[in-house]
Amino acid sequence: MLISIDSVLSKDLVGQFRETLRQARWLNGKRTAGTQASSVKVNQQLDDQSKPAAGLRQQLLTPLGQHQLFLSAALPHKILPPTFSRYCAGHRYGAHRDNPIMPTGGADRMLRTDLSATIFLSEPDEYDGGALTIETTYGTREIKLGAGDLILYPSGSQHRVTPVTHGTRLCALLWIQSMVRDNHQRLLLFDLDQSIQALTRKQGGEDTEVQRLTGVYHNLVRLWAEV
């Protein structure tokens, strides 16, 4: 299940992010990868402890928390504070799966990674290579979206970033523990929710069938969600 969501961040906000990132301190990306992943990870990561990182995280989580399509697709229970990556020429991230459990740094301590999200902060024509390549049940997908767009994918799927040969690729990364752990159940809920919203626009919220389907959606969430 791959879901791409356009314009999660406005171009203005992307511009502000990039200005902050341009002046920020970058560290070797291997620091935060698991054992297998660190052996294939060649990129840079924003210093998580730095002041710019704290500001950018909040600036990113606020619009995301209000984005209806993202909320419907991810049904987030917890979201790890975002990290920021930079790939310059020669950088890449070989095939890996994301760690299943990650420390949150907060009182809840741990998060199970159900979904990973990449938010692109560079336009596709600003770099060569650097495609996010994800193995799915329907084959390999190569993803290169516009600045401000997001792709959501199961954290358990194998993925990689092909070598950047020219230019710079900036992105933000998020890991999400969903209220609905199972990818198929979550996708069914997403499809149902999207159809209910489309029907509501056509028939209105008073429509009997819209109300019945909304009830089915709510009861399925009640059945499947863990909070």
Interacting residues with Ni ion (CB under 5 A): 98
Return the number of the residue (24 or 173) whose C-beta is nearest Ni ion: 173
Torsion angle (degrees, nearest 10) of CA 42, 88, 147, 137: -30
C-alpha 14/C-alpha 131 separation (Å) is 19
Return the number of the residue (171 or 196) whose C-beta is nearest Ni ion: 171
Least separation in angstroms between CB 5 and Ni ion? 18
Least separation in angstroms between CB 96 and Ni ion? 6
Burial class of residue 17, CB neighbours in 10 A (0-12, 13-18, 19+): buried
Return the number of the residue (13 or 33) whose C-beta is nearest Ni ion: 33
Least separation in angstroms between CB 98 and Ni ion? 4
Instruction: Collect all residues with Cβ–Cβ distance below 8 Å to 145 and sequence separation of at least 6.
Output: 4, 6, 120, 124, 151
Return the number of the residue (100 or 205) whose C-beta is nearest Ni ion: 100
Return the number of the residue (98 or 149) whose C-beta is nearest Ni ion: 98
Q: Which residue is nearest to Ni ion (CB)?
A: 98
Least separation in angstroms between CB 115 and Ni ion? 12
Q: Do residues 200 and 210 lie in contact, with contact meaning Cβ atoms separated by under 8 Å?
A: yes
Amino acid at 178: S
C-alpha 10/C-alpha 6 separation (Å) is 10
Least separation in angstroms between CB 220 and Ni ion? 30
